[in-house]
Structure 1
């Protein structure tokens, strides 16, 4: 009787698909790093209503949240070379556009996408901190920057951790769209392995399990981080 699943193929495919794991991790880590920077800057601009910039950041957040990530990836992939070509022609430069690695476009699109969502998390968390905290810090001689770093951000980060963890998990899964611009990540590798014996169902099960394991690991790591933050709350370290 013929089996529904080719388990022997799945076991072999597991190792082959994992060969692309470093690319997925690289996409996730680099994109999240820049996304956090973007999110923090956007959140501060919108909280303190910085002239002109507040409108630009509001449009950026609205556009990013209102359009599919796949469209944003294609906009970066086809738009950045066009923009650089325009710069070349306008200023008589000779930047080599044709050899830009596709992963750069993925970094840009993922960072901007996650940065928009994360900026709302940061903004909500910072605004949720009691304004009296800043006044109390200033009354004991802290500068506004010191108070913001040591008091406001510490409390805001604790509140934001669950959403940051969820955003990171979403980013890991979203990196599967990188195959659309010829990046060999886990998803792309799965398609290549599945094409070898036309066992696509099996490889998609395998890659789903791999993504699942990664997301469970991130979820557990953020639970531990939340526990750690709560141990510091009130000045008590366990």
Structure 2
């Protein structure tokens, strides 16, 4: 095993690790916010909105993430330069990068999966708790904000942790749209040094470390939630 190359490539490795973590954080945060709306639309939305939310979740959960990513990057991305004035706008430096399309694709995909998790958790909240809150005179918005949504998130915590780990393992797909994430750096190292296993071992250790970090963080949150009960 030869790891002498690490001293030369560590700046690239650090930058790739940052890109990977950024993709994970952006997709999880914004995807979770979108998932809340999708879950509520499927439960309490009007028929048309309910149908749209279910169709969205079914389509994105039923197609590979790689295809969704390529449709955005090679499809929508190829049309953006045709929009008048876009290339000269302040948005172009962001919209021309593969990172933007990867972040959008990962966010939309994560939202579809998380919406189903939240939908099940919302339905699992005992109806007595919601009825008791309404009996105290709480509005529907306050019941959702203070009782229904927090309770459902507590129920779904273990599954949410698992979904975040799965999202982390999907981040190497960003390499296919020119994003220099950690896997892309490992690929470059392999091309430059002809070493195959060592770069992949470094990537594996990083992903295992992040997985342990996420798992530990959610265990602490679950323990705190149990104490407050």
1:94-133 C-alpha deviation (Å, 9 max, x unpaired):
2226962211101110001000000001100011001121
Q: Does 1:73 align with 2:69?
A: yes
| TM superposition score normalised by structure 2 | 0.90
CA contact (8 A) 1:10 1:206 kept: no
Structure-1-length-normalised TM-score: 0.87
Point out the more displaced range, 43-52 or 122-131. Answer: 43-52
Aligned-residue Cα RMSD (Å) equals: 2.0
Provide, for residues 137-192 of structure 1, a one-character-per-residue CA deviation record: whole Å limited to 9, x for no partner. 11112112111211111211111111111111111111111000000001001111
Question: Which among 111, 114, 120 is matched to residue 116 of structure 2?
Answer: 120
Equivalent position SS for 1:52: helix
1:221 aligns with 2:217: yes
Deviation at 1:223, TM superposition (A): 0.5
User: Paired residue for 1:182?
Assistant: 178
2:138 to 126, 137, 142: 142
> Which residue number corresponds to residue 199 of structure 1?
195
After TM superposition, the structure 1 stretch with the greater mean CA deviation from structure 2, 50-59 or 10-19, is 10-19
CA contact (8 A) 1:20 1:189 kept: yes
Are residues 1:39 and 2:35 paired? Answer: yes
1:95 paired residue among 83, 86, 93? 86
| Alpha-carbon spacing, 1:162–1:12, altered in 2? closer, same or farther (3 Å) | farther
Kept in 2, the 8 Å contact 1:20–1:186? The answer is yes
**Closer, same or farther: CA 7–103 of 1 in aligned 2, 3 Å:** closer
Any conservation in 2 of the 1:10–1:202 contact (CA below 8 Å)?
A: no
Compared CA separation, residues 208 and 47, structure 1 to 2 (3 A): same
Q: Return 5+ residue gaps in structure 1 as ranges.
A: 234-238
Match of 1:61 in 2: 57
Q: Would the aligned equivalents of 1:73 and 1:109 in 2 still touch at CA under 8 Å?
A: yes
- Inter-partner Cα distance in structure 1 for 2:14 and 2:57: 34
Rounded to whole Å, the distance in 1 between the matches of 2:25 and 2:216 is 17
Q: Gaps spanning 5+ residues in structure 2: where? A: none
Query: How many pairs does the alignment contain?
Result: 224
Structure 1 residue 7, shift from structure 2 partner:
4.3
